[in-house]
Structure 1
Amino acid sequence: MRVLLTNIVFLCAFGAFGQGVVSNACNMAQNICNSVPVPFPLSTGTSPSPVVPPAGSISNPNTNPAPGFMGCLLAGELNPNWFVLNITSTGNLEFNIGAAGGSGYFDWSLWPYNPATGCTDIQNNLVSPAGCNWNASSQGFTGMSTGGPPAGGATGNFTPSVPVVAGQAYILMFSNYSSQVGNVSLTFPPSGASVGCSADTPDQTICLGDVATVDIVVPPAYVAPTFNWLITTGVSNPTGGTGVLVTPTVTTDYYVEVQDNAPGGVMYTDTFTITVVNPPAPNAGPDQNVCLGSLVTLSGTPDDPINNTTMWMYDASGVTPTPTVNFIPNNTNLTTFASVNQVGTYFFMLQETNAICGDVQDTCIINVSDLSITASFTSPSCATFTDGTITISSAGANEYSFDGGTFWDVLATSGGFGAGTYTVCARTPLGCEKCVDVIITEPAPMTISVSNDTLICENGTAQLSAFATGGTSYLFHWDHTADTGFQQSVMPGAATTYTVFAENQTGCVSPATTIDVTVRPPLTGTISAFDTICPGYDTDLSASVVGGIGQPYSFVWSDGSTFNGAPNHTINVGPAVSTDYTVTITDGCESTPLVMMTNVRVAPLPVPMVDVLNPIQCEAAIFDIVNITDPALSQYNYWLVDGEQQFLNQDTITTAEMWAGEYDLQLIITSFEGCVDSVTWLELLSVDPKPVADFKYSPNPVLMFNTQVRFTNYSFNGYTYQWFFEDGTPSQSTQTNVDVIFPDGIEGRYDVRLITTSELGCVDTMDHELIVYPEVLIYAPNAFTPDDDEHNQTWRVFMEGIDVYDFELLIFNRWGEVVWESHDIETGWDGTYGGKQAPADTYTWIIRTKDLMNDAKYTYDGHINLLR
């Protein structure tokens, strides 16, 4: 459903031709004269002269010419605007009414247009629309387009474009269905056919002075047009449209305003050009005077060599007898040659033909005459001079040229010529020229020769000599002196080139020549760099030399050494103090002696010094020793302790454990300059022997019923003693030998310690465990009762002071049979024999064992009463 929207204002950009007018009737249709956007005011209300028939007619069908679209003006001629579209280029007609983002229904219909019958053809249902649109949506944006709607347009609002041909006209009726108010633009996309009002009056081309007849061509849609010529130069009728005579003198663009006087008609400006072509202006070239027998050179220049044609023509009517004239190679070349066989005046014409202006000629005059010429010369006075002369002889000539015809003079003789070839010419009053070559020869030249190039030593002298020919007497001009003698003595300080030339008695000079004097290089050399040695050492000093005249060279040293021969020499020196040495070297030439100096520095010798923090120690001794040598003279060090322990580059060393004795220490120091010194300190390190604690005691072993013990001191190297006795009386003592009583009647183990100290405080300790052994004791019961009660079920013996690992117990019955045997003193007999209870009886036992302390053997026996 359409919704009627009102009071919507369309803001449209104004085109170059301003805003359109209200055209709400067919006979008031507005001509669209360009393809730029044309803003126009929306029309509301009824058309004053409606012509569109109701829907369903031929001119307003219900069926759209484009398939898939709704009918045409289903609401009729509602709020109309009418436009005439004059097609100026063939293509597809495209247009837009409104713009994307607008509102309102904009319906339209497009018919082919005949200015005379266009409106009545629509009204009388005689013409069908070429296209139409009944908007599908209220977007205020509609028209014709190729390939679908433009950006922002709805498909139902844009019908396909239609093909059109330049020169056709269409009338467009736009219906403001929604009664919108304001302005809207009619736009023609550049992709479609263009529209306009001009039918393009054709351009013309005329020759200067001719007249152009102009008929203004108007669009087919114009009715009763009027004309106004804006450019009136040479125009016969400034308001005429047909048969206007125009006579411009230069190419001119003409502008004519054409006004359509029909209702709603517009004015446009028609533009055309009348091109004025100037008549050709060929140039046949300059007039010429030519000698008989020479070709006439014709070189013409056309006004327009591209568009015009040219040819050469001639007139020899004034020459008698009638000459023969030939063009070489032809008469159509702009540059060509002509040959004639008679003296006289000829006229050669270059003719240029233009399609607009016809033929135009230009003439050059050629005067042909005849002439003879000879020439003589005098040579220059000296070689290379330019005082020679030339004389020209030519009957009838009145002008002469000595440079090939560039400059002319009335004198037949001219000077200032050197040896060479010259072209000289003679010319008659008629301009006939002839030339001849003159070869001027040169007199015998001056020559000069000089002595050979030479080589001298530094400070040496060279003798230079020069000799000349080509005269009787000579002056020699040297570049280094004003003296003009043939021989010179020179003493250059560097390689020098001397230039000389000779001059004879007539002032002729020879070419300059040169003598090169090369100076041998001065003596240069090298000497050993400054050196440093240690006291008592020596070093080699070497010197070498190059330059001068070469070997043999003489070497004289400041220490008195000399040498003569090769370019190098070496001496050996060992000064006690730092010393400068110079050498003077000479060669067998005048070269300046070479003096060079070097220095041998005797470096200071380091003095090794040490500090032993504790030089006397007990064994095992470890010594800390510090290098206190001057650090400015100590770069590297080497230690040797007692000939075995070595240390490298350590300023503080710690020795390994050392035992009793006296030990030497050696320290070797190397200075930063490589000087070495060594000091050995004999028996610097002293190690006192460690005392040995030792003692013995008696009795030994100690038995539990005799516990008074004598301790005898057997220590070595001891000075004082300290005894410690566990549970002994006394428990401590400083005596050398001590008597001690340990607890009586009991066995036990007691720690005994002896600490022995030497005179230097060296200490040794001896620890010993004293054992109080038990006496040998035995207890053997004489009866037992193995009757399975809780008392007295087994029989065993109890012993002290024996070796329990060397123990044997045998029990015999009355028949001497062994009924039980045991080697474990802790195990008892249970009264069985052979797995059965032994009968109650008296049994005999025997024990064999050894003393725990001294392996003394013991045998014990007795009887057992087995009771049941």
Structure 2
Amino acid sequence: MKNIYTIILLLFISLFNNGFSQPQTVTFNYTGAAQTWTVPPCVYNISVSVKGAQGGGPGGLGATVLNPTIAVTPGQVLQINVGQCPTGPTGGWNGGGNGHAAVPVNYQSFGGGGASDIRVTPYALTNRIVVAGGGGGKNGCSPQYNALGGAGGCVTGMSGAGSPFVGIGGGGGTATAGGNGGPPWGGGQPGIAGTLGNGGNGGFYTTASGGGGGGGRYGGGGGGADNCCTGANGGGGGGGGSSLNPAGGTCTQGNNTGNGVVAITFTAGSVSITTSNTGPYCEGQTIQLNATTGASSYSWAGPNGFTSTLQNPIIPNCTAVNAGVYTLTYDAGGCISTSTTTVVVNVPVNPTFTQIAAICQNATVPNLSTISTNVPAIQGTWNPSLISSAVVGTQTYTFTPNAGICANATTMNIQILPNEQVTFNQISPFCIGDTPTALPATSTNNIAYTGTWSPATISTAVAGTATYVFTPTVGQCALANSMDIVTYALTTPNFNPMGQICEFESNVVIPTTALNTTPFINGPLITGSWNSPTVITAWAATTNYIFTPDPGQCASTYQMPITVDPLIIPALTQVPQLCQNDANPVLPLVTNNVPAITGTWNPPLIDTSIPGIFTYTFSSDAGQCGDTIDMTITIVPAVPPQFVADTLTGCNPLNVTLSTPPVLGAIYTWYWGGTQIGQGSTFSYQFDQSGYHDITLEYDLLGCIESTTYNDYIYMESYPLASFSSVPSSLTETTQAIQFMNSSVGGTTYTWDFDDSYTSTESDPNHMYVGVTENLLVTLTAYTPLGCSDEYTISIPVIADPIYYVANTFTPDEDEHNQTWQAIFTTGFDPFAFSLTVYDRWGEIIWETHNAAESWDGTYGPLGTKVPAGIYTWRMQYEPKENDDRKVVTGHLNLIR
């Protein structure tokens, strides 16, 4: 018995090891998108292998992080991002920096390889728990200057190689920062530095760009560009990305070729229970939920509040509310896990079919389709199973779906139509030669029927009755029918001849109704139209006019000759031009033609009391074919002219424009004091004599002469002569009064401009100048009463600076010459702001005064001690009169004894 227990225990241990402890590995390859993996039940630790992608070109190899142990939670969803090895300038997926395209393509630089990583929610770059860095991309260059990208590193990525002239490529990423961008050569672009997760882009030059940096924990920098020339020495390769290696793992730089790869190894902790159902179901059926064996307890939960502790529960008479996800929570060896199954409950579908069109009685019938037009199609049977066309009316056919299909029964109504006699609207009779209408293509029945006619078209070539037969198109519920159509012969219309018509006579209408009718219309007279509705009277001739009857009267065309007599132009003697109020002449009532034409005038009389241009119309009496003629008679107005001048007063000489409203055809002549000065309705003239002047305007309108004189119309004055003088003629001080004497001739008013912003209208002003420092231009303007003016200007010089004299030597030796010394001012200073000081060679004051009139006699102190002969220094201070601008002057004095 003990041996039996031992065998059972070993068997249990073996089963437990086989069911609960088998390591499993899940491998993720590059897809170009994020992938996920859900941690299985009872799995709390995983071991991973993560390899970064190689850079393009080929470039630097990717790093490998191997066998770190990572704590996880059952049901946790990890995001897997597998890096791409690029094949061109675009950086590899998951962080590879870009290279640059080129023409030709062999000069392109390549993108950096993408990093491979595993992330936890919310799956941002900062949520990565393991990272394997990608390698940098190869540079763009001539074949002899290849520079590979740096390898994906561990703590730090490897720097990319440089061409012989660039020197070094992009820097590798570190644990805390992206790699530096590689330096350029010459004026080329530098590479872009890497950032968190992303390699930097390579610098650009057409044929020598830098490679992109590899992705990683921090991406490598892009390589710099070489801008030398086409086929240049090449830019630098991109730097490799750094890696994130969790505790317990190992990291190998530059270890992987091609795309990256991620592998997750875990040991399952329990038996997995699989759930299922026997659906899909149709409403009303029983739902069967199933779970595999191996658990010690089962607990179901689902839609509409469903719960059960059975392993395989059922739900009878299901409806749409029972559809959804059912979750089984189970205990397998102490590990609580869940599994789900989705139940689909279908609402019964209504089968649909293409409606069968109406069928003619006793016609061949189609088969009823046993497959519906639904998607997916529904199969079933019909009752009755065949269509019958023997009886007219609506027949109902019922479709029943096959067993096991979630669909309702449906019906189709099919109409059996009776065979009907076709009907048409009768076509009206035609006349011989008419263009017939087309025979109708469809009948006038409620259901329009189509078919063919025999004959196919109507003929109007022969008078009489013709029969046309209509045969319906096969498949229509219609019977054949015929129509009789009548064609009539033509009747010639009759008209009375036209009366006398004169050339150019207007609106001579030809009657459009004949004197006779036709048997066809039986009563109304024949109507129609002529090729011209009125007689053409533009010339004298006999012309044939053609009458065309209106349609439907069966009348023929008719030709009528019409004669137009020539029109005679009345010959009249022109009444000459008349002046207003001349004697009224008589208009002739008989023309000068042979034979003469008589007529009347409108208006009948000439009235010369009203000026203007008038039209008189002569109308010939009837029966003479005489034309109407107009005579224009001009009556010249007898109106004295009016005129204006643009200027009536002014200064001599004076330009004046004289004008009068022009009358068409009039001749205008201007006179000044009886002397002709010009012609025209507008005339400009320069008058050169002072005083008052008479102006006369004479105009001749077609021989009718009128004139107007304006006495003393224009007045002119001569210009004055301005002149003046001043006392004094110059300013010796900056503030000083000047008297001005006016000597102008012919002026009555005056304006002075003193050139210091002041003016005056006095005749002889006295003006005080204050603070003047520069010469002045004083202007006098003299005016006459009409404003004729003259200007006169003089210049007044200004001598305003202080004038002083200080001698440099004096001899106080008691003779009659040079016994004293002083500063001598002649003008322009303030005596109350004056001081003068004399110093000896040691700077001691020897003599001082504040009075400009005081002089020094060469003594010192109150006792009058004579100073020795020698050189002394003097200092003078003063202020100008006009301001407080203090002046200081120094000099040397030679005292001789």
Q: Same fold (TM over 0.5)?
A: no
What TM-score results when the alignment is normalised by the length of structure 2?
A: 0.40
Please identify which structure carries the higher strand content.
1
Computing the radius of gyration from Cα coordinates, the structure with the larger value is 1
